[in-house]
Amino acid sequence: MNWIDNSLGLHAKALSFRSQRSAALASNIANADTPGYKARDYDFRTALNSVADGGRLQMNTTHAKHAVNANNDSFGELLYRMPTKPMHNGNSVEAEVEQAAFARNALEYQASLEFLNGSISGLRLAIKGQR
C-alpha cells in the first residue's frame, strides 16, 4: 500500500497535523481565563521535518526495549507560546492571537482537504482507467 501513500503525498499528513493543531489552539482559547494556563502550539518547522524524515521523529531511549511512539502522526511536541503582553494571573493566552491562528489553521485544513480530495479523485480515475 506504499503506492497509495506515495500518491497522496504530504496532504494526508498535513490534514492530520492541522487537526492536531486545531485541538491545541482550541484548548488555548478555552483556557483564556484560566489562571496560570500557558498557551501552547506546534512549531511548523519541527512538524515539517518530522514528515520529511518519513514521519518519524528521532527519539532517545535509555534502554533498548523501550517502546517508541509507533503512531506516525507525531509532529513534535507542543511548545509554549511567548506572550507579547503578560497577564497578571500568569495566563499566557492572548485571545486575539489564538483566534487568528485558529482561523488560519481552519483555512489551511480546508486547503489540505481539497488537495487530498483531488489526489483521491485522480487515483480513482487511474484505477477505473478513465480520463
> Is this prediction's pTM over 0.95?
no
The C-alpha cell that represents 82 in the structure block: 511567548
Q: What is the pLDDT of residues 62-117, one digit of tens each?
A: 655 444 443 445 678 899 998 898 788 999 999 999 999 999 999 999 999 999 99
Residue 44's pLDDT is what? 79
Cα separations in angstroms, 115 against 12, 79, 96: 9, 28, 29
Pick the closest to residue 46 from 81, 76, 14 (CA basis).
76
| 3-state DSSP assignment of residue 40 | strand
Give the C-alpha separation, 54 to 101, whole Å: 27
Domain total for the chain?
1
Q: Which amino acid is at 30?
A: A
- Host domain of residue 37: 2-128
- Cβ-based neighbours of 130, under 8 Å, separated by 6 or more: none
